[in-house]
Amino acid sequence: MPHVLRAHGVALLALLAAALGVLGGPANIRAAEFDLVEAHTTTEDHPYTLGMVRYAQLVRDRTGGRVAIQIHHSRQLGDERQVVEGLQLGTIHLTVTSTGPLGGFVPEMNVLDLPFLFRDASHAYKVLDGAIGRGLLDKFDVIGIKGLAFWENGFRHITTSKKAIERPGDLKGLKIRVMENRVHQAAFRQLGADATPMAWGEVFTSLQQGLLDGEENPIPIISTFKLYEVQKYLSLTGHVYSPAPVLMSKKSWDRLPSDLQKIVLETAVEVARVQRSMNRAQEQKQLGELRAQGMTVIENPDRAAFREAMKPVFEQFQGQFGKDLVQRIVNSK
């Protein structure tokens, strides 16, 4: 039987699924030559899931039903690190993930987490959709994973419970959850925060219990995980742009004939544009909703001061990743 993705009253996902017919019937899944188990950690109304719904339908249609993707959202099959390990083992076939755990598998991926690396979203898309992005994705081959495309997580911002964050000094002494990523950890320590790496599944409860003072994430994560229930302030620092790589188990990739490989890869690249549009549309809507839920939004923190304060981390890590690579990214137009 297929895994059925239910909307639970989430109108956007319900409409998308109905329009695309992605849920299909059991006969469609049984008829597929290749059943791909997809897993990711975000909720059913997050752009990861919405993008994956679109991707699954297009792949099924373009392969004439030969490839079916079963979607598992909301950490149903584990956290991000567990899912990536599952790709290596071949127990999970496909994922869309943050870059958080990926440096532990492909160290060069951490270059994308350098603070203020990208000028804006257009700059990020130019880099990630071009030769630099493809070069980074190709590095997964040696660890048993096929990199397909870069989707979007978004620009990261800071939330806190105790006080508003307007300048770097405001973070001094605050216990801030960061991803399990050495660049993020170093950046927040540079700001004077107690940077605390933690798996995402533990974060809400830790915020709720006061074990953490804050965290940093893109707006769709802050909204769909209802962080407004445990965080009072949102500061739009935009300190890091986070892509969302779409990755496939190399074992599963190698089992596909070349014609299906082409469809799976090219469709992942194509859906990146759609998924990013979904993400940007949600961000604008969700900012209003977060305010309505009682969050105080600091729209214009001193980003220049944050950039300057994080500059030593940028310079420290660009040497590790290769100054030539970093400069190619920075100079991309």
Whether residues 96 and 200 share a domain: the answer is no
Whether residue 187 is found in the same domain as residue 75: no
In a shared domain, residues 36 and 176? no
Going by the DSSP 8-state scheme, the letter that residue 102 receives in this structure is G
Q: How is residue 44 annotated by DSSP?
A: T
The model's pTM is 0.88
Looking at the fold, whether 163 and 141 belong to one and the same domain comes out as: no
Asked whether residue 266 falls in the same domain as residue 183, the answer is: no
In a domain, 4, yes or no: no
* Confidence tier at 55 by pLDDT (50, 70, 90): very high
CATH of the domain at 313: 3.40.190.170
Q: What angle do helix axes 11-20 and 47-62 make, rounded to 10 degrees?
A: 0
Residue 2 located in a structural domain? no
Question: Within its chain, how far is the Cα of 319 from the centroid?
Answer: 25
Name residue 150's beta-bridge partners.
245
Tell me: do 45 and 179 sit in the same domain.
no
Here the tokens at position 147 are 């990199």
- The answer to whether residue 111 sits within a structural domain is yes
Range of the domain at 72: 11-154+243-283
Give a yes or no: residue 331 inside a domain. no
Please tell me the distance from the alpha carbon of residue 153 to that of residue 188, in angstroms, as a whole number: 19
**Euclidean distance between CA atoms 107 and 278, whole angstroms:** 29
Q: 139, 250 in Cβ contact below 8 A? A: no
Q: Contact, 216 vs 159, CB < 8 A?
A: yes
Same domain as 300, residue 203: yes
**234 in Cβ contact with 159 (< 8 Å):** yes
Non-local CB neighbours of 296 within 8 Å, separated by 6+ positions = 164, 232, 233, 234
Could you report the per-residue pLDDT of 225-281, keeping only the tens digit for each? 999 999 999 999 999 999 999 999 999 999 999 999 999 999 999 999 999 999 999
List CB contacts of 34: < 8 A, sequence separation 6 or more: 66, 67, 68, 252, 255, 256, 260
- pLDDT, mean over the chain: 91
Tell me if 206 is assigned to some domain: yes
Q: Are residues 189 and 266 in the same domain?
A: no
Q: Based on the fold, state whether residues 32 and 49 are members of the same structural domain.
A: yes
Work out the pLDDT band at 30, boundaries 50, 70, 90. low
Query: Are 191 and 171 spatial neighbours (Cβ–Cβ below 8 Å)?
Result: yes
Asked whether the beta carbons of 322 and 107 are under 8 A apart, the reply is: no
Structural domain contains residue 127: yes
Q: What is the pLDDT of residue 304?
A: 97
**Alpha-carbon gap, residue 66 to 62, rounded angstroms:** 9
Do residues 83 and 110 make contact, with C-beta atoms less than 8 angstroms apart?
no
Across the beta sheet with 34-39, the strand order is 67-72, 34-39, 94-96, 241-249, 145-155
Does 266 share its domain with 176? no
| Shared domain check, 118 and 20 | yes
Q: How many domains does the chain have?
A: 2
Encode pLDDT of 93-121 as tens digits: 999 999 989 999 999 999 999 999 999 99
Same domain, 183 and 226: yes
Nearest alpha carbon to residue 69 among 87, 86, 94, 44: 94
Residue, of 26 and 102, whose pLDDT is higher: 102
